[in-house]
Amino acid sequence: MRDPVFSIRCRDANLSLVEAALLILKNTALQFAFLFGAGLIGGATLTILSKLTNNVFRQFRWPQAGLYLFGWIGVPVHEFCHAFFCRVFFHEIQSIKWFDPSGAGGAQGSVTHTYQPWNLYQRIGHFFIGLGPVLLAPALIASLFLLCVPSARSLYPALTEGGIHGAYALAKSQLGLATFKSVGFWIFVYVAFSIASQIELSSADLKQALVGVVPVTLVLLFFNFSAWALDFHWHHKVVHAGHAVTAAVSGIYAFSALVALSAFVTIALLFGFLNFVLGRGFINPFIKS
- Above 50 in pLDDT, residue 289? yes
Does residue 153 lie in a domain region? yes
Does residue 82 lie in a domain region? yes
Pairing of the two strands 110-114 and 7-10: unpaired
Q: Are 89 and 128 in contact (CB under 8 A)?
A: yes
The pLDDT of residue 12: 42
The pLDDT of residue 154: 58
Residue 180 buriedness (CB in 10 A; 0-12 / 13-18 / 19+): exposed
Does residue 230 lie in a domain region? no
- Above 60 in pLDDT, residue 5? no
Does residue 148 lie in a domain region? yes
Report pLDDT digits (tens) over 214-273: 999 999 888 888 887 777 777 777 777 777 778 778 888 988 998 999 999 999 999 999
What domain count does the chain have?
A: 1
The pLDDT of residue 6: 33
The pLDDT of residue 177: 54
Q: Could you give the CA distance from residue 26 to residue 33 in angstroms, rounded to a whole number?
A: 11
Whole-number average pLDDT of the chain: 83
Q: Where are the alpha helices (DSSP H) in the chain?
A: 17-59, 65-66, 72-88, 120-130, 132-148, 156-161, 163-173, 177-180, 183-197, 203-230, 234-277
Domain that residue 195 falls in? 45-216+250-277
- Above 90 in pLDDT, residue 20? no
Q: What is the mean pLDDT of residues 45-58?
A: 93
Does residue 27 lie in a domain region? no
The pLDDT of residue 213: 92
Lowest mean pLDDT among 9-18, 26-35, 243-252: 9-18
Lowest mean pLDDT among 97-101, 163-167, 190-194: 163-167
Percent of the chain with pLDDT over 90: 45
- Above 50 in pLDDT, residue 39? yes
Does residue 3 lie in a domain region? no
The pLDDT of residue 179: 66
- Above 50 in pLDDT, residue 200? yes
Report pLDDT digits (tens) over 145-184: 888 887 666 555 655 555 556 556 656 655 555 567 778 8
Q: What is the mean pLDDT of residues 187-192?
A: 94
The pLDDT of residue 46: 94
**pTM for the full predicted model:** 0.84
Q: Are 46 and 252 in contact (CB under 8 A)?
A: no
- Above 50 in pLDDT, residue 201? yes
**pLDDT confidence of 4, banded at 50, 70, 90?**
very low
The pLDDT of residue 7: 35
Amino acid at 48: I
- Cα–Cα distance list, 242 to 6, 35, 38, 164, 224 (Å): 33, 5, 9, 17, 15
Does residue 15 lie in a domain region? no
The pLDDT of residue 233: 75
Going by C-alpha positions, the residue among 128, 132, 159 that lies closest to residue 143 is: 159
Does residue 35 lie in a domain region? no
Going by C-alpha positions, the residue among 174, 200, 184 that lies closest to residue 46 is: 200
**pLDDT confidence of 17, banded at 50, 70, 90?**
confident
Q: Could you give the CA distance from residue 230 to residue 9 in angstroms, rounded to a whole number?
A: 10
